[in-house]
Chain A
Amino acid sequence: MVLSAADKANVKAAFCKIGGQADEYGADALERMFVTYPQTKTYFPHFDLGKGSAQVKGHGKKVAAALVEAANHIDDIAGALSKLSDLHAQKLRVDPVNFKLLGQCFLVVVAARNPSLLTPEVHASLDKFLCAVGTVLTAKYR
């Protein structure tokens, strides 16, 4: 999956518009993922996953920060997320299928909170970007 110049521009602009709300987007995406795909909860037995959970909010902030970091270094996502990639490969070992699920939920959050931002072109670029992030995070699995 190769991000074109237009894709990169779309993604950067999208995250610019999302701005300081990225943390909320991250938390919202996680909450939706846990409700829509309950099997994803198996990776968080140590979390309180109830509505408004501080742990989910905190983790959403981390997820959002990683996405922002990737968007800010979109020419080298692998480099920007290298440590996170190691972490997922060695410690977390989240099955690769789940990154698609979180990606879908992130798109839903953008659609629900900022529908005018998600034109078909931006939708395509963001989907590609989220796929690329998932690929990077699972790249060292084997």
Chain B
Amino acid sequence: MVEWTAEEKQLISSLWAKVNVAECGAEALARLLIVYPWTQRFFANFGNLSSPTAVIGNPMVRAHGKKVLTSFGDAIKNLDNIKKCFAQLSKLHCDKLHVDPENFRLLGDILIVVLAANHSKEFSPACQAAWQKMVHVVAHALAHEYH
């Protein structure tokens, strides 16, 4: 089981309280598709992803980004049991979506950069470390049911 210090929990939840989930999620997913374009392979039915401008403006990307980051919120509410919280999602990503877990790591790294850009004041090294641990734990949990 993952051990979180009180400081880590505080850093994670206090920053989360300031996050605009819809905007941040949209930006994170868009940047994933732009910075690592091979990730577009999972979104063939999303329409126009032909340029950074197209990706950023794509309503399906925005909607899905919001959905993904809302899930993150569930993890933050269940920090002491993320594996259980994401068991179904993990099975879904393996059995139905066929997503290589490496992609969870890529999205986590992108999210960190987006948080840093939007919350510079709060994003101290300690805050970055707590959030990097968070995205690592989420990625691990999402990969946990893979077979």
Contact = CB atoms under 8 A, between A and B. Distances in A.
Given A36-B125, A113-B120, A108 B30 contact: no
Nearest to A100: B109
B113 A111 contact: yes
B59 interface: no
A20 interface: no
Interface in A104-124: 104-105, 107-109, 111-113, 115, 118-121, 123-124
Interface in B106-136: 109, 112-114, 116-118, 120, 123, 125-126, 128-129, 132
A45 B125 CA distance: 20
Name A's interface SS. helix
Contacts of B128: 32, 35-36, 105, 108
A107 B128 CA distance: 12
Interface string B53-78: 00110000000000000000000000
Nearest to B35: A124
Interface residues of B, number: 21
A92 B73 CA distance: 41
Nearest to B122: A112
Chain A interface residue bracket vs B: 20 to 34
Nearest to B131: A36
Interface centre among A108, A115, A118, A119 (most CB of B within 10 A): A108
A112 B125 contact: no
B52 interface: yes
Contacts of A123: 31, 34-35, 113
Interface of A: 31-32, 35-37, 104-105, 107-109, 111-113, 115, 118-121, 123-124, 127
Interface of B: 30-31, 34-35, 52, 55-56, 109, 112-114, 116-118, 120, 123, 125-126, 128-129, 132
Closest 10 CB pairs of A and B: A111-B116, A115-B117, A111-B117, A35-B125, A36-B129, A112-B120, A124-B35, A112-B116, A120-B34, A108-B116
Given A32-B129, A108-B116, A121-B52, 11 more contacts: A32-B128, A35-B126, A36-B128, A111-B114, A112-B123, A115-B116, A120-B35, A121-B34, A123-B34, A123-B35, A124-B52
